Amino acid sequence: MNSPATRGRHGRSRKAPRGRSRFRLPMRYLLPTTFLVALLAMLMLRGYVHNEILADHRVRGADRTTRVPDDVRDGGPVIDVRSGDAETLRVPDRRIVLTFDDGPDPVWTPKVLDKLKEYDAHGVFFVTGNMAARYPGLVERMVAEGHEIGLHTFNHPDLSYQSTARIDWELSQNQLALAGAAGIRTSLFRPPYSSFSYAMDNTSWPVTEYIGSRGYLTVVNDTDSEDWKRPGVRAIVERATPKDGKGAIILMHDSGGDRSQTVAALDTLLPDLKERGYTFTRLTTALDAPSAHTPVTGFALWKGKAFVGAVAVSGRVTGVLVVGLAVIGVLVLARFGLMLLLSFLHARKVRRRDFSWGPPVARPVSVLVPAYNERACIEATVRSLAASEHPIEIIVIDDGSTDGTADLVEAMRLPRVRVVRQRNAGKPAALNNGIRHARYDIVVMMDGDTVFEPATVRELVQPFGDPRVGAVAGNAKVGNRDSLIGAWQHIEYVMGFNLDRRMYDVLGCMPTIPGAVGAFRREALDRVGGMSEDTLAEDTDVTMALHRDGWRVVYTENARAWTEAPESVQQLWSQRYRWSYGTMQAIWKHRRAVVERGPSGRFGRVGLPFVSLFMVLAPLLAPLIDVFLLYGLVFGPTGKTVAAWFGVLVVQAVCAAYAFRLDKERMTHLISLPLQQILYRQLMYVVLLQSWITALTGGRLRWQKLRRTGAVEAPGGSSGPRPRPVDAGSVSDRSPDRRPYV
């Protein structure tokens, strides 16, 4: 855990050369920030094309008509004010222009196109930019099959409410999507919520004038099928049929809801009107005018393709992330439920009056304290061990400290305390050196910044009464919990670590013996080769190795150890970066357990998936919760978003409260839980992402030595009684719960 360590296998890191600029933006910040910004940008783009951002659903009612020219109100459905003078046009007799609004739709547009193709008919599709960007293949098919395309704005707002800048934006974005989808521009435009020319009023007419000044031909209709009301196939056909052989621009829809009646109506309308001598044609063909389409080339074309491509990428990525988040959410909630159930069963089992691991363990044990520059903490650590109620020998392995750690321990002149000095070689080497010097067959390991309660060693070694037990995990607790970051780690230790360990104990797949408080059967260590230097998480590595060798690894809640947690974000990042990267290394090292048989295979098919999913993969997606929360608060269904987030928070609070109750901790620290879930999660995300990057790029992570303050005191003060003789033959009664001053 908070272990003394080297900054490299052969020594500490070099200092930066003088004169060279040391400022650089750390990749651990740059890459995660870039990823989150990219994700937020994709969410914004997705929201934009799904009418969740910049959407305006207001629709203005009828207004007076005093400003609308009489020629327009009494004229045809095609309004041309491009030259400044208003002119209207009608479709000649026996010619029909079928127009379809609001598409393309992935379900109904292909069916409409199929019907038009079946009856050799053409029409005009007034597409919205957001739909065209999402389904560019359908726009391309429309053009390829000879249909005409018109603009219907990008987000379908009522333009009478919009400024000229917003109107220009709607048109340009609509053209951009059209260019990316089919490589064309169009001069046809139909305003959203428009109907007949005689319905023009003082609010819609200025918009039509402005649209004309931008070079567009405004197309309304003179025959409304009212298919959007879904009145039935017969009613749609009757309303769409022109009277007395006149030409018509018929309004229909290929998107915006269930258009099955529209498709069925085409099956009747098209053959019936053809038999009466009507032709179904494009608008410009009906008016004997040049095509409304203009090819787009050069930068404009690539800009359109880039936009459509970005929409496709954002849709796919966010879709996958939403599905992934939903899956992870279900798994996490299932894990919470399983954790509560199994933790309850574990506590119920070990707290029974008749529960016993086996014969009481009273024989002496060896306690190893690896130390590297731990002068601020080591005295409290050793004195807490000296107060132990169990017979022990204390071995402090000084790993090349430069601050006088070893001298300080020797100056204490405590009996049964030995100092072993070695050149700086790292924590695993220090522990293996300590094992070689240990006299007893049970070895307790702790960190140099940790203090034990008097009963800790006694409680820690009792499970070895079961000969199948190879290692025991103790209850690591945060001593310096007065600061906000300390309180967050306190919640994490009690809920995330110790509640987890109860669950893993019941499942028989404990992934880690904490470096702050753990005990090992020496025989088990010898069989797996001791503490390995292959990974930066030697505690996780050796625990997995013990599982694969067939040993039981268990958790004992009363073996409490108080550790000094990092007190700054930088220190916390350094610690968790090493933990997460080391865990990844250990998982990769023991990956063959998945396909092996026996105890190794059981751990590989139960323990490794649990660790991989909930310690490596799931936390990596945790920031998505906050990103989607922020998005939902601003653009989405705010009420549902807040309810969902609070629902998850309630589940976590229930788990945390239960964990605190099991550990007999005060609930007041849970006040900071909501803030922890928002801020602390981001730090863990940065750590995990950087660990992934380090692993995938083949980088090497060096040990990070955390600065210690010695804030965690030994229980009862800085001085304590001498250790009991190592030949004591009995285990003393349990002492009252005594905690260090923090």
Task: Map residue 391 onto helix, strand or coil.
Answer: coil
Asked if omega into 725 is within 30° of 0 (cis), the reply is no
- Say which of 122, 147, 253, 390 is annotated catalytic: 253
User: In Å, what is the CA distance from 50 to each residue of 84, 132, 150, 475?
Assistant: 35, 11, 20, 50
∠ Cα 84 85 87 (to 5°): 130
- Which residues does residue 552 pair with via DSSP β-bridges, in sequence order? 469
Output phi, psi for 445, to 5 deg: -120, 140
Rounded Cα gap, residues 656 and 676, in angstroms: 12
Spatial distance between the Cα atoms of 565 and 449, rounded to a whole number of angstroms: 9
**How far is the C-alpha of 486 from the C-alpha of 669, rounded, in Å?**
10
With the C-alpha atoms ordered 505, 508, 514, 519, is the resulting torsion angle positive or negative?
Answer: positive
Q: Active-site residue 101, yes or no?
A: yes
Say if CB 228 and CB 257 are below 8 A apart. yes
Whether 404 and 436 have beta carbons less than 8 Å apart is answered as: no
DSSP 669: G
Upper half-sphere CA count for residue 514 (Cβ side, 13 Å): 26
Q: Which residue has the tokens 């990749």?
A: 27
253 tagged catalytic:
yes
What count of Cα atoms within 13 Å lies in the side-chain half-sphere of residue 366?
23
**Cα 190 versus chain centre, distance:** 41
Q: Could you write out the DSSP letters of every residue in 513-581?
A: --TTSEEEEHHHHHHHTSS-SSSS-HHHHHHHHHHHTT-EEEEEEEEEEEE----SHHHHHHHHHHHHH
| The token pair that represents 376 in the structure block | 């601020």
Cβ pair 131, 153 in contact under 8 A:
no
Tally of residues, the chain: 742
Task: Round to whole Å and give the CA distance between 473 and 722.
Answer: 26
Report yes or no: 280 and 121 within 8 Å, Cβ to Cβ: yes
- Record the tokens describing residue 651, joined without a space: 């589940």
* Residue 261, CB-side half-sphere exposure with 13 Å CA sphere: 20
Closest residue by Cα to residue 48 from 301, 310, 304, 257: 310
Contacts of 564 (CB under 8 A, 6+ apart): 2, 377, 449, 450, 479, 480, 708, 709, 710, 711, 712
The set of catalytic residues is 101, 253
